[in-house]
């Protein structure tokens, strides 16, 4: 079991560029999440999904889009990157009613 994997691990973007972060899990979990972590702010939920084909907004969804076309994958897109999106992005998956919150290693994104 690889658990939760994230691609890429690190990326530098220029303002206005677009990119997609990929999250994959091999635990057959229904729920998947994207968080961002900024100094002093803890982890804030961007978007989440409670099953294949579903997505919902979290606390800070603006500037991001997501898709869950396959149960094992959850994609996070930045259409036009801004310096305020410089952060560490974590993906997580959960098995409802049991142990929640298996996290990927994170993606460090720097927007110049």
Partner 1 sequence: GIQVEQSPPDLILQEGANSTLRCNFSDSVNNLQWFHQNPWGQLINLFYIPSGTKQNGRLSATTVATERYSLLYISSSQTTDSGVYFCAVVGNYGGSQGNLIFGKGTKLSVKP
Q: Which residues lie near partner 1 (CB under 8 A)?
A: 31, 33, 35, 40-45, 48, 50, 56, 58-59, 88, 90, 92, 94, 96, 98-103, 105-106
Do residues 112 and 14 lie in contact, with contact meaning Cβ atoms separated by under 8 Å? Answer: yes
Nearest C-alpha neighbor of 29 from the set 87, 81, 71, 61:
71
Residue among 75 and 91 whose Cβ is closer to partner 1:
91
Name the 3-class secondary structure at 32. strand
Q: Are 13 and 112 in contact (CB under 8 A)?
A: yes
- Report the C-alpha gap between 34 and 61 in whole angstroms: 10
Give 14 or 98: the residue with its C-beta nearer to partner 1: 98
State the minimum distance, in angstroms, from the CB of residue 34 to partner 1: 11
- Beta carbon of residue 53, minimum distance to partner 1 (angstroms, whole number): 15
Closest distance between partner 1 and the C-beta of residue 17, in Å? 24
Q: Which residue's CB is nearer to partner 1, number 58 or number 63?
A: 58
The structure tokens listed for 84 are 């305020």
């Amino acid at each position: 079991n690889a658990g939760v994997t994230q691609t890429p691990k690190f990326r530098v973007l220029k303002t206005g560029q677009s990119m997609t972060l990929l999250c994959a899990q091999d635990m057959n979990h229904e729920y998947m999440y994207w968080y961002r972590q900024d100094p002093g702010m803890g982890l804030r939920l961007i978007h989440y999904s409670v099953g294949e084909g579903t997505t919902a907004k979290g606390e800070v969804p603006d500037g991001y889009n997501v898709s869950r076309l396959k149960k094992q994958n959850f994609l996070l897109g930045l259409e036009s990157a801004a310096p305020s999106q410089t952060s560490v992005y974590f993906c997580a998956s959960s098995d409802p009613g049991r142990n929640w919150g298996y996290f990927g290693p994170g993606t460090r994104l720097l927007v110049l």
